[in-house]
Chains A and B, each alone.
Chain A
């Protein structure tokens, strides 16, 4: 890491000098990734891939103007970077006047490597394959095949502005393991996942235990098509994280709020929206979420209440959004918020305990670990839809377990986490929500392992997996 950090800082410093010589006002952001990805399908390795990429983002500021260029480049090709700098500068005059003045402030130096683990950065292909073998030991058969992936990598961000020689640097390592076992004959599929920023946090036996239980349940029990209606639902970490991701987009992202494209307006701040059990924060100390101690302007980040006891407290305000709408930026110029949902007082450690829970509560429990392909039906209402996947179970009051075909849930977020929210587990886990469409930017959400909701309608019920 140190070697790469030096290389990046040296290149940025040289580019900064080039920019200063032209009397420009600018900000530079370098993104470096070293990614390794092993993909499984049909019980074989279908792909083993490595990517080593460098990206540079240049923002040039003028009088009520800004222009951006970016490139994926050879890190030693300074000439190419200078050309892209020139292009940004050249286009500045054409960009048209904004109705506000974008702020360029000096980055204050910071160096945040709390989520960087050299052991994870150096984990080999062989070690990754060994890990998957342990996690799936004796679970594959002729009918039950393994799919999934083991993604691991390092990400570095380095930033400088024309206003000072200060350097902001952030580095993290991340691993995301997804293992799916599916029946070729019966088409069911179950999964187990793990997210880590340190190698020592990867635990193959935890995955093995989860998979064993689910496979066993699916082998023993006959599938059922659930009747439509209202259910007591327990969400697993993946499903909760998916809903929080949607909430992030529809309620917490300042752009969505200020452009009236989601659930809330600025005036909703201070209003009770959700259940008083619902406490959601942007927490820079939640390291499992690949946390940022500072935002990319070097502003120290503090724990920010988003919803507190169900009351809407804050949404992210980037510097550009603050400039455009006359607001105050709140140190959220980061690649993602460090979302952490407070735990509750529900003492539950393992999915098996839902059996007793159903009997005690005299109510069947539909366990939904994962939501597939969610969509926003109506952004103003926060109405979202998605179908269950990967190992849903129906825990019956009589102690038996049924395996349901997938069902679709179409509900308002304010109902799910409002009147619907019954209790949250004490234990929390990090669920990895990284998007890998382009550059590596590891992200995860810290959520209670189980969240219980009551009276939740299912809007469609499959008659096959």
Chain B
């Protein structure tokens, strides 16, 4: 069925709307394959289609979505009706930051489309991986392969017309074993960026040979390793832990809608206030962070956001000082108005919706830490007096304003007087966000920088999950409480 979206949008303007946009997903395909101890327990292929329309009426948002294309007229009416009712209670009318109405197209770079790979080959790859993991000492083996491909058409009443075609793949393997105290230990591997593309090429066997062997060996050693001490020391976060630290304590608190109080009833707020931009000492001078949605090959890069704004590279923290936020047209418009000055120059291009039936929120893109000048892991260990190297996120719990945090990790290694003293298990650490980043004392060089993907970041109500990236080097933080 061919729908004239632009005509439907124009009708909304005639009926009194001040702005409207529609996102139409002609087809979204995804698949989840889950193998546990050699059994393919989950082989689920999903397909969806539908559209969502967002309407601004007297400064209030209304939204409606349907998977039923015969209901376009009714759904557009319902979105306007919803906006009209919402206009009953408007304290600050929505003001969208200006943008250029672009016409464009974005295709995510992909050497081998995972949806063109024969199912038999996908399963054979998983079986091969399972064989690699099936070693003595391994009690449970898990292999997860998630793929997604979608086309999104975007139109708005300001004249934007955008077509996006996004393909992503998220593979993960894990091994588990029972330690000397009867506890379950786990090591996992989710490959960071390996190529400048984001397709099936990541599954080439040469990418997995050494990594599967490494996690099996590490897991075996963990089973007999001593437990993590409870004390205060430096922590050296490997990229497969550092990405989550950045995600939870830089990414989320710098989402501008959170700062403005739009997530207070669920996800939480932020300790950051508008007056902090340009002033707040977020971390030591070694900390420079950006929201870079122009990385070629991450799910955090998508060409144009769901406000129709082209992706940007925005500086968030400049040598320790807070300078920017993760933002959209609405949040920038409101923040600048509330502050009485232009803190932000235009939208950060980070309005993103999970699916056709959810509204866009301020979302992370690729929240990256610039590499530093403190060398390799070996260099950092060699000048650490008393430390703990940590890798592999295991659990996370963060204060509602992101002011404090507690993380457990899969693995750790003690460092004494510049020497690696061996592995420890049941590792954890916690602290206060600002104190922690102000004690950032070493940042690894570009050779330690890895881009990791997150495919399940939760936010919003109704809830949404989102896919994004974090490019991070190895980092050391001093005077951190560990082992609790």
Q: Please give me the residue from chain B that is nearest to A52 by CB atom.
A: B66
Question: Within 8 Å CB of B406, what residues of A?
Answer: 375, 377, 385, 408, 410, 459-460
Binary CB contact string for chain B from 257 to 280 against chain A (1 if under 8 A, 0 otherwise): 000111111101101000000000
- 6 A-B contacts, Cβ less than 8 Å apart? A43-B91, A51-B357, A51-B462, A187-B269, A379-B184, A460-B404
A343 at interface, CB cutoff 8 A? no
Contact status A46-B61, CB under 8 Å: yes
List of B residues within 8 angstroms of A100 by Cβ: 39
Which residues 320-359 of B sit at the A interface, judged by CB distance below 8 A?
357, 359
Residues of chain A within 8 A (CB-CB) of B261 are: 41-42, 145, 147, 182, 184
Residues of A within 8 A of B265 (CB): 39-41, 147-149, 178-180, 191
- A35 pairs with B67, CB closer than 8 A: no
- Residue in B46, B89, B461 whose beta carbon sits within 8 Å of that of A129 in the complex: B89
In the docked arrangement, what's the CA distance between A261 and B188, Å? 14
**Residues from chain A with Cβ under 8 Å of B421 in the complex:** none
| B28 CB to nearest chain A CB (Å) | 8
Q: Are B89 and A37 interface neighbours, CB within 8 A?
A: no
- Are A94's CB and B123's CB within 8 A? yes
Assuming the A-B contacts A71-B48, A126-B85, A148-B265, are A49 and B359 also in contact, with contact meaning beta carbons closer than 8 angstroms in the complex? yes
When C-beta atoms are compared, the residue in chain B nearest to A376 turns out to be B395
Chain B CB within 8 A of A313 CB: no
Report the separation of the CA atoms of residues A66 and B75 in the bound assembly, to the nearest whole angstrom: 37
Query: For window 430-465 of chain A, which residues contact chain B by CB distance below 8 Å?
Result: 435-437, 459-460, 462, 464-465
With contact pairs A72-B49, A129-B88 given, residues A49 and B462 touching in the complex (Cβ less than 8 Å):
yes
Given contacts A187-B401, A191-B265, A406-B399, contact A44 B92 (CB under 8 A): yes
Instruction: Give Cα A259–Cα B175 distance, bound, in whole angstroms.
Output: 12
A46 to B462 CA separation, bound complex (whole angstroms): 12
Q: Which residues of B lie under 8 Å from residue A320 when comparing CB positions? A: 41
Contact partner of B357 (CB less than 8 A), chosen from A53, A94, A410, A435, is: A53
A289–B28 Cα gap in the complex (Å)? 33
Interchain CB contact (< 8 A) of B176 among A179, A260, A373: A260
B400 within 8 A of A: yes
The listed residue (B64, B91, B139, B398) touching A49 by CB distance below 8 A is B64
Q: Which of B23-57 contact A (CB under 8 A)?
A: 36, 38-50
Docked pose: A74 CA to B70 CA in angstroms: 8
Known: A54-B67, A94-B120. A435 touches B463 (CB 8 A): yes
Known: A45-B89, A74-B49. A465 touches B357 (CB 8 A): no
Q: Given the interface contacts A48-B82, A69-B45, A387-B400, does A260 sit within 8 Å of B184 by beta carbon? A: yes
B396 part of interface (Cβ distance < 8 Å): yes
Pick the contact of A375: B82, B119, B139, B397 (CB < 8 A).
B397
Chain B residues whose C-beta falls within 8 Å of the C-beta of A49 in the assembled complex: 62-65, 82, 359, 462
Query: What's the least CB distance linking A192 to chain B, in Å?
Result: 11
Q: Which residue of A lies closest to B29 (CB)?
A: A71
Q: Residue on B with the closest CB to A461?
A: B404
Q: A182-B264, A260-B176 are in contact. List 4 more A-B contacts (CB 8 A).
A: A35-B462, A42-B261, A50-B64, A95-B43
Q: What are the residues of chain A within 8 A of B86 when measuring CB–CB?
A: 38, 45, 47-48, 125
B458 at the interface (CB under 8 A from A): yes
How many A-B residue pairs lie within 8 Å, measured between CB atoms?
255
B408 & A378 in contact (Cβ 8 Å cutoff):
yes
Using Cβ atoms and an 8 Å threshold, which residues of chain A touch B365? Answer: none
Given contacts A47-B63, A182-B264, A375-B395, contact A72 B40 (CB under 8 A): no
List residues of chain A with CB under 8 Å of any chain B CB. 35, 37-54, 66-76, 80, 84, 87-88, 91, 94-96, 98-100, 125-126, 129, 145, 147-149, 151, 178-180, 182, 184, 187, 189, 191, 259-261, 320, 324, 372-381, 385-387, 389, 406, 408, 410, 435-437, 459-460, 462, 464-465
Contact with A along B137-163 (1 / 0, CB 8 A): 001100000000000000000000000
Contacts of A381 in B (CB 8 A): 183
Contact B465 A437 (CB under 8 A): yes
A-facing residues in B227-257 (Cβ within 8 Å): none
Binary CB contact string for chain B from 72 to 85 against chain A (1 if under 8 A, 0 otherwise): 00010011011101
- Once the chains are docked, how many angstroms separate the CA of A182 from the CA of B266? 13
- Selected from A44, A48, A66, the residue in CB contact (under 8 A) with B91 is A44
User: How far is it, in angstroms, between the C-alpha of A436 and the C-alpha of B120 when the chains are bound?
Assistant: 34
The verdict on A41 contacting B45 (CB below 8 Å), with A49-B62, A129-B88, A387-B399 known, is no
B66 contacts A377, C-beta separation under 8 Å: no
B contact residues around A40 at 8 Å (CB):
89, 265
Q: Is the CB of A375 within 8 A of B396?
A: yes
Residues of the B chain whose Cβ atoms lie less than 8 Å from the Cβ of A54: 67-68
C-alpha spacing A387/B399, complex, angstroms: 6
Q: Which residues of B contact A460 (CB under 8 A)?
A: 404, 406, 430
Rounded to whole angstroms, the CA-CA distance of A95 and B394 in the bound complex is 30
| Chain B residues proximal to chain A, CB less than 8 Å | 36, 38-50, 60-71, 75, 78-79, 81-83, 85-92, 119-120, 123, 127, 139-140, 176, 178, 182-184, 260-266, 268-269, 271, 357, 359, 394-401, 403-404, 406, 408, 426, 428, 430, 458, 461-465, 484
Please, which residue of chain B has its CB at the minimum distance from the CB of A386? B397
Residues of A within 8 A of B60 (CB): 44-45, 48
Q: Which residue of B lies closest to A88 (CB)?
A: B45
A75 contacts which chain B residues (CB < 8 A)?
67-68
Q: A50-B65, A178-B266 are in contact. Are A87 and B48 (CB under 8 A)?
A: no
For residue A22, give the distance in angstroms from its CB to the closest CB of chain B. 18
B307 → chain A, closest Cβ, in Å? 15
Residues of B within 8 A of A148 (CB): 265
Contact B64 A436 (CB under 8 A): no
- Chain B residues near A95: list those with CB within 8 A: 40, 43, 123
Residues of B within 8 A of A88 (CB): 45
Write the nearest CB–CB distance from B327 to chain A, whole angstroms: 16
CB closest residue in chain A, given B90: A44
Q: Looking across the interface, which residue of chain A has its beta carbon closest to that of B398? A: A373
CB-nearest residue of chain A relative to B88?
A129
With contact pairs A47-B359, A386-B397 given, residues A70 and B67 touching in the complex (Cβ less than 8 Å): no
Given A72-B50, A376-B395, A51:B65 Cβ within 8 A:
yes
* Residues in A neighbouring B83, C-beta threshold 8 A: 48
A37 to B71, CA, bound (A): 19
Nearest CB to that of B361 among chain A residues?
A47
Choose one: A50, A74, A260; the contact of B82 (CB below 8 Å). Answer: A50
Counting from the closest, the 6 A-B pairs by CB-CB distance are A72-B48, A375-B397, A48-B82, A44-B91, A380-B183, A375-B395
Q: Contact check: which of A72, A435, A459 meets B67 at CB < 8 Å?
A: A72
User: A51's contact among B66, B178, B184, by CB below 8 Å, is which?
Assistant: B66
Of A43, A94, A187, the most chain B CB neighbours within 10 A belong to A94
Interface centre among A45, A71, A437 (most CB of B within 10 A): A45
